[in-house]
Amino acid sequence: MTNKILALDFGGTKLAAAVLNAGERNWQDYQKTFSPPHASAQTDIEIIQTISHNLLKGEKPAAIGVSFGGPVDATTGTVRLSHHVKGWENIPLKQILETEFNSPAIVDNDANVAALGEHRFGAGQGYDNLLYITVSTGVGGGWILNGKPWRGVQSMAGEIGHVTVDPEGPICLCGKRGCVERLASGPYIAQQVREQLQYQPQEGQILRSLVNNDLEAITAQEVSQAAMQGDKIAIKAIKL
């Protein structure tokens, strides 16, 4: 019987799959791609299935572990919602993957998975209580309480990205104003900087040089890089 584990990550913009042996931490093979423009739950599932089969090379995995960038009912493996990719409302992802690969699957929120990983293998070793915060396409959190994952009512304890911090702030994808995610996630940091540079042509020269003055090419990665090099607009965007 194979001892290969299939690890999958459904992000807000990124899709990734890896194969590793049970009990090992280094993957044998890994493939990453990005959701196409106007992606849906169906297209994301089809893409992840394709790259997974490519990695498995005809083998059946012993088990499947899945992290998803959005609220998940971990008891049933059902994705409750995604604010970034349409069509993910109440999708039985665990059932879909188990049917496709004929292997048991576990599905959980990405920040919960990351928190558990840090608790067992990373910076959280030796601590019974911790909060893991992820900042990428979205903002989320994962809790470890008394040495175990804590998901709260309806598995929503870690959804810190949709806590309102500025009631008069911009509208978030969730429909509320001034959410943490709307102010601090990667895409919105980049958007804010692009808008500033459009109206301040003499500012942000370090950042402009990183993208050859193509403002549409600016992502949070370039903003971070420019901030480390002393770009004032980039520094201000990150501090906000």
Strand (E) or helix (H) holding 82? none
For residue 24, name the pLDDT band (cuts at 50, 70, 90): confident
Mean of pLDDT values over 189-197: 93
With contact defined as beta carbons under 8 Å apart, do 178 and 165 qualify? yes
CA distances from 99 to 9, 35, 92, 102, 213 (A): 18, 23, 11, 5, 48
pTM (2 d.p.):
0.87
DSSP line for 159-198: -GGG-BS-TTSPBPTTS-BSBHHHHHSHHHHHHHHHHHHH
Taking only the tens place, the pLDDT of each residue in 5-14 is 999 999 988 9
Query: Above 90 in pLDDT, residue 240?
Result: no
CA dist 73 and 85 (Å) reads 18
Residue 36's SS3 state is: coil
pLDDT in the model for residue 84: 85
Q: Which of 30-44, 59-73, 115-129 has the lowest mean pLDDT?
A: 30-44
Sketch the domain layout of the chain as residue ranges: 4-109, 185-239
The domain made up of 4-109 is a member of CATH 3.30.2310.20: no
**Segments in the chain forming alpha helices (H):** 41-56, 93-101, 110-121, 180-184, 186-199, 205-210, 220-228, 232-239
pLDDT in the model for residue 36: 86
* Mean pLDDT for the chain overall: 93
Taking only the tens place, the pLDDT of each residue in 150-191 is 999 888 899 999 999 999 999 998 899 999 999 999 999 999
